[in-house]
């Protein structure tokens, strides 16, 4: 079972996570969308494609661009299409993946270098 929590709220929970490059991707139907707001931010991974972002809102707090997904991933990354991953303080538990993220300070993100943080591009916050 994989679970993502932030500020006392369970953002996602699944028994079908996709593990890729040290990140846990949650199937869209297992994500609690009431905590997510789409943003206009994006980043590009050379092999996965264009990532889009969500801001997380829970318990009166805001965590900007703390979740991402690939709406149209490359053929090599098709298994993560529309799957949601988290970072930036969101606690993700999934056995050894959680341990690996903790060793990196809990920060892993999409992009060319895992753990370096995304280079977000954005328009106005949406």
Mean pLDDT calculated for residue range 16-24:
95
Instruction: Tell me which CATH homologous superfamily contains domain 2-103.
Output: Domain of unknown function (DUF427) (2.170.150.40)
Strand spans (E) along the chain = 2-6, 9-14, 18-20, 23-25, 36-45, 49-58, 61-69, 84-86, 91-93
The answer on pLDDT for 107 being more than 60 is no
Q: What is the pTM for the complete model shown?
A: 0.78
Structure tokens at 33: 């969308």
What per-residue confidence (pLDDT) applies to 120? 62
Task: Using alpha carbons, select from 7, 11, 15 the residue that is nearest to residue 94.
Answer: 15
| Phi–psi pair at 30, nearest 5 degrees | -105, 10
**pLDDT tens across 70-85, in order?**
999 999 999 999 999 9
pLDDT, the chain, mean = 85
Mean pLDDT calculated for residue range 49-72:
98
The answer on pLDDT for 26 being more than 70 is yes
Rounded Cα distance, 69 and 84, in Å: 5
What per-residue confidence (pLDDT) applies to 99? 45
């Amino acid at each position: 079972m994989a679970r993502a929590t932030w500020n006392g709220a369970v953002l996602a929970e699944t028994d079908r996570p996709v593990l890729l490059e040290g990140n846990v991707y949650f199937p869209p139907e297992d994500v609690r969308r009431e905590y997510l707001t789409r943003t206009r931010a994006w980043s590009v991974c050379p092999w996965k494609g264009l990532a889009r972002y969500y801001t997380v809102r829970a318990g009166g707090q805001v965590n900007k661009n703390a979740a991402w997904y690939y709406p149209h991933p490359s053929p090599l990354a098709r298994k993560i299409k529309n799957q949601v991953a988290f970072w930036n303080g969101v606690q993700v538990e999934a056995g050894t993946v959680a341990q690996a993220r903790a060793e990196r300070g809990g920060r892993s993100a999409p992009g060319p270098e895992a753990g370096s943080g995304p280079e977000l591009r954005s328009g106005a916050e949406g």
